Amino acid sequence: MKFQEYRNTGKLKMSSYLKIIDLFAGIGGTRLGFEKAGLDVIQCVFTSEWDKYSVQTYKANFGEEYIHGDITKIATKDIPNHDILLAGFPCQPFSQAGLKKGFSDTRGTLFFDIERIIKNKKPKAFLLENVKQLKGHDKGRTLEIILEHLQDIGYTNIQYKVLRARDFGLPQNRERIYIVGFLDAKINFKFPVPSYKKTKVGDILEQYIDEKYTISDRLWEGHQRRKRENKIKGKGFGYGIVNKESEYTNTISARYYKDGSEILIEQEGKNPRKVTPREAARLQGFPDDFKIPVSDTQAYRQFGNSVPVKVIEKIAEEMLKHLKKKKN
């Protein structure tokens, strides 16, 4: 079933839904994963996203009349009560490329806004997503502080795990940490077991490709030169090239629009090419009727910043098993 058709199948009354809020929403990948897992039992009652281009894509697909902007400027009292909080909070302070210092207090970080909302609204559950480096950041102290703050609020039932997109049927080597918490300490949540379905890059490739996605001679020479230089210096950094028979690609990032170096597609008799925006969407598990109303540059940023929908869907299925039972 197509995405838009699927979203029209919910039939419960509003009062019967488990209510979710979508923070740092981006283009809605986390919400989409939850809807695919249980559209008949969930209802999104609040969305926050500040980037105007992401809002454009979000509205094109979810039809929201109003999306709230910067969460740091929204009072807690203005956020509706909800059952599940979803947040793929920005990773810059925790990523390898970001700040190297840790923190002992959440103030001054975007996690603080998640904390204040959870503390005030006490949802039944939450799902947080971040880069895998969060687990080892500052020798594990950053994650420890986050968990301590959530436990102090009353969420003693918390689990976290690093999951790979390619273990769930998506041909991309994307690893992310997922943190799941329940207010009910008796809930015995377990992370989904990966399908380990064999993947192939050819499954996400489009048949007819515009020549504009083939990289120039100058760019291709630059990629090759940097890889040679890095190899001499003992560094493993350089472009990543795959073909239709490859099992998976590197992780697509928000900077992909710059030179496409992390994922290049081999082409016979000519320079390799970048993936198209639709192929980038497929790498993340977005269905083909998911609308892309923005420029290629913005599309690459959006899908690079998004989440692997299939992984979210499987986590959501496990969470909803417990929450639906409790609701009933």
User: Active-site residues: which are they?
Assistant: 91
Pair 309, 284: CB distance under 8 Å: yes
Distance CA 170, CA 251 (A): 11
Query: Which pair of structure tokens corresponds to residue 161?
Result: 């795990």
DSSP secondary structure code for residue 116 in this structure: H
Q: Which residue has the tokens 């799902």?
A: 127
Q: Which of 169, 244, 240, 164 is nearest to 201 (CA)?
A: 244
Helices and strands: H and E segment counts in the chain? 10, 9
Distance CA 262, CA 230 (A): 15
Pair 272, 219: CB distance under 8 Å: no
